[in-house]
Structure 1
Amino acid sequence: MIRFGPAGIPLSCKGRTLIDGIEDVHSLGLTAIELQLVRMNIIDRYAMEDEVGLTPRDITTDLIVQIIRGEEDPLIITDLSETIQDGDLLVTLISGIAPNWADVNFARDLAKKLDITLSLHSPYYMDLTQSSDVALPSVEILRWGGLIASEMGASPLVIHLGLYEGRDEEDAINNIVSNLASIIDWYEENNVNVVLGLETSGRQEVFGSVDEIIRICDEVEGVIPIINVPHIHSRENGSLMTKEDFEDLFAKLDNFTKSVFYVHFSGVEHEDGNEIRYTPIKKGDLRFEPMAEAMIEHLYEMTIISGSPLLEHDAMYMRVIFERNYTRQVQKLKRMAEKEEETRIEEERLAKEEEGATKDTKSAPKKKSGAKVVTKKPTGKKTPPKPAQAKKASAKKKSASKKIPEKKEPVEEKTAPKKAPAKKKSASKKIPEKKEPVKTAVKKAPAKSPAKKGPTKAKPSPAKTPSKKKPSKKKK
């Protein structure tokens, strides 16, 4: 699940109490808030007469975090259900979180009802890089901060680790490991259920690079890294620019968070590896879109706290960007799924067709192995053609017979030798057509017709008929 919220009570909230802040966050559509325990004052006072017999939870005027009983060998009591006795020294905590334990418990129940995740940020002036004696005030503040967080149901308790102050990295790491171990032991002894979150720093002189935080998390059990994106971006000279940059960062810290990340985000101005100030997200070179893409692709579970000067406005802005990118990604995946479904259906159809074709070939009749194959010997008789073939043959014959008389043109020289006899017949038939009628005269003999040249034979001249002599007059 992805949650967005401000670092502190929203600027738009009319009331400035813890209860007002939780209700306003819910009305804005946000689902997380990081409460700021940045100012903390400790006051020791003796119990009043009307407080004797009550418990720290019953006191409505102060937030009592500890009871000190006795003077020579004092007994320190952190059980909030312990009855206050006469002469007890009460350690009260003055902060902007809540005036008493009743408000703390009410805030816990209200946040649970509205589905708001609570977390707590300790004061910024922690100094755990020092030895145990010097770091004792910081250790006590973290004890009491853990007590408040546990009663409120807030987690994690976000802490800074301190300055180097001339110490080398190894000395600082050893002191931090020792102080954190004592705090966690105290939590276990007093049934304080909270996780310590180690925040990355944004300046070179402050302990808390990504690699240093990883080393502390590796050596101390029960702590997690807090990813302050503008701090890392500043300390590494603008290293978080692309989706791949964020993926590498989350992969580095995944072993300690189990894909459940707590992140601070805002715009930032930086120079020479140091953060100058927070800015609204729209300013500067650090953009939220690449981180949103990495979140969507890897489905991280994440709580994102806006540390921007605009607080809840930029928290809502990040939520809008995330939802927009998430919708685009869902639509893209939907289109890809539809294409895959279409290809799957097409492949199934082709497979069914192939399966049907193989079934058809298998169902065709096969020759039995034991049966004898009878083959007919070819005979001299021609088998009668089938009706269709007979029709085709007759049609071919008719077409051939029709085409013969149409060719009346004289044959070319190439085909002349083959059709020589036909030429003679045609010539002999054409001679009488050209023959002129023979005129017979009684008195004169017919003139001899000149012989025609050519391959045709000369016409036989008509036989002379013997003319009958007229009887002469003398004989009469």
Structure 2
Amino acid sequence: MQNNLLFGTAGTPHGTKKKGSVRGVEYVSEIGLDCMELEFVRGVRMKEDKAQSVNVTARNSSVALSVHAPYYINLNSAEQKKIDDSVERIYQSASIGSLCGAESIVFHPAYYHKDTSDRVYSRVHNLLNDLSSRLEEDDIPVVLRPETTGKGTQFGNLDEILSLSSEMEKVQPCIDFSHLHARTNGGMNSFDEFKSVLSKIEDILGKEGLNNMHAHVSGIEYNSKGERNHVNLEESDFNYMQLLQAFNEFEVGGLVICESPNLEEDALLLKNSYFSLD
């Protein structure tokens, strides 16, 4: 059993007595979790002084942080202003997230609209390459993590995300296993299928791709078009135990962020279930 797999919540846990990321980080540690994803999904509103406070609290609490950038991102918009705004939202997420001590910036990259996968891929690749250079020039030491998406209309299947990650040093995947399950209309839900995903990651990104994984897990509802909404693990058909067994077999390390509606309950369920494995 590897001890370098960290479990935590997508945002401040519900049981946190006072609002805010600082108290959320403290509460994550108090209940025995290891990490938290700062949710900038409605916009990057955190100020620099607050970010510094989050950083100090996270270090003192030994809680690893990541960031989820705003939902309003589409690097394949037909409108140039929306593309420019999307890039700026990722940049601002990275800037404030880095001050918080976060190393990974997660985002949903784009929609296909009526374009081919290759055309969208080329556009997303070029934009992320330019953004990575800008972040490096500004000494913002983060990794950009485009996320595997849950609907067929969204750019971000497993192959697209892994290919982007293999071609740019500062781009690595966020593997949302529940999205993979929903996107395939109930597939990607067995031990062998989870192993196939992890094998592909290792083949394309090397062992480091498994040692420093960023994963999202939750219960999920879906239909023929893919993801509908997140639900609690026990209310879903998502086979989280076999995913954890695959993590164990491949000695996966990194962050596992739970996005179930009950947040810390399912995050603790995942952690406790993982460490109960032989």
Q: 2: CA distance between counterparts of 1:230 and 1:297?
A: 19
**What residue in structure 1 maps to residue 22 of structure 2?**
19
Q: 1: CA distance between counterparts of 2:189 and 2:41?
A: 31
1:218-252 CA-partner distances (Å, limit 9, x unpaired): 33331011110111001112222322211110111
What letter matches 2:64 in structure 1? T
Shift, 1:274, TM fit:
0.6
1:300 aligns with 2:252: yes
1:59-78 superposed matches below 5 A: none
1:66-94 CA-partner distances (Å, limit 9, x unpaired): xxxxxxxxxxxxxxxxxxxxxxxxxxx6x
Say which of 300, 323, 328 aligns to 2:275: 323
Q: 2: CA distance between counterparts of 1:217 and 1:293?
A: 25
1:290-318 CA-partner distances (Å, limit 9, x unpaired): 01111222221131111001111100111
Q: Is the 8 A contact 1:129 1:173 kept in 2?
A: no
**What residue in structure 1 maps to residue 11 of structure 2?**
8
1:333-392 CA-partner distances (Å, limit 9, x unpaired): xxxxxxxxxxxxxxxxxxxxxxxxxxxxxxxxxxxxxxxxxxxxxxxxxxxxxxxxxxxx
1:41-190 superposed matches below 5 A: 95=45, 98=46, 100-130=47-77, 133-134=80-81, 135-190=83-138
What letter matches 2:260 in structure 1? S
Q: 2: CA distance between counterparts of 1:202 and 1:113?
A: 35
Deviation above 4 Å: which 4+ runs of structure 1?
none
Say which of 239, 262, 270 aligns to 1:310: 262
Shift, 1:127, TM fit:
0.9
**What residue in structure 2 maps to residue 334 of structure 1?**
none
**What residue in structure 2 maps to residue 458 of structure 1?**
none
What letter matches 1:311 in structure 2? L
Shift, 1:102, TM fit:
2.2
Which structure shows the higher helix fraction? 2
Consecutive unaligned residues in structure 2, runs of 5 or more: none
Q: 1: CA distance between counterparts of 2:78 and 2:222?
A: 31
Q: Which structure carries more relative contact order (alpha carbon 8 Å, separation 6+)? A: 2
**What residue in structure 2 maps to residue 269 of structure 1?**
221
CA RMSD, Structure 1 to Structure 2 (Å): 1.5
1:279 aligns with 2:231: yes
Q: Is the 8 A contact 2:51 2:97 kept in 1?
A: no
Shift, 1:130, TM fit:
3.7
1:218-367 superposed matches below 5 A: 218-254=166-202, 255-256=204-205, 257-259=208-210, 260-325=212-277, 329=278
Q: Is the 8 A contact 1:240 1:286 kept in 2?
A: no
- 1:17/1:210 CA distance change after superposition, 3 Å: same
Shift, 1:182, TM fit:
1.5
Q: 2: CA distance between counterparts of 1:213 and 1:132?
A: 23
1:427-447 CA-partner distances (Å, limit 9, x unpaired): xxxxxxxxxxxxxxxxxxxxx
Shift, 1:287, TM fit:
1.7
Shift, 1:132, TM fit:
9.0
Q: Is the 8 A contact 2:174 2:215 kept in 1?
A: yes
Paired residues in the alignment total: 270
What letter matches 2:30 in structure 1? S
TM-score normalised according to structure 1 size: 0.55
**What residue in structure 2 maps to residue 368 of structure 1?**
none
What letter matches 1:253 in structure 2? I
Q: Is the 8 A contact 2:152 2:183 kept in 1?
A: yes
Q: 2: CA distance between counterparts of 1:205 and 1:258?
A: 26
Shift, 1:286, TM fit:
0.7
Mean alpha-carbon deviation: is it higher for 270-279 or for 306-315? 270-279
Shift, 1:273, TM fit:
4.6
Q: 1: CA distance between counterparts of 2:227 and 2:98?
A: 32
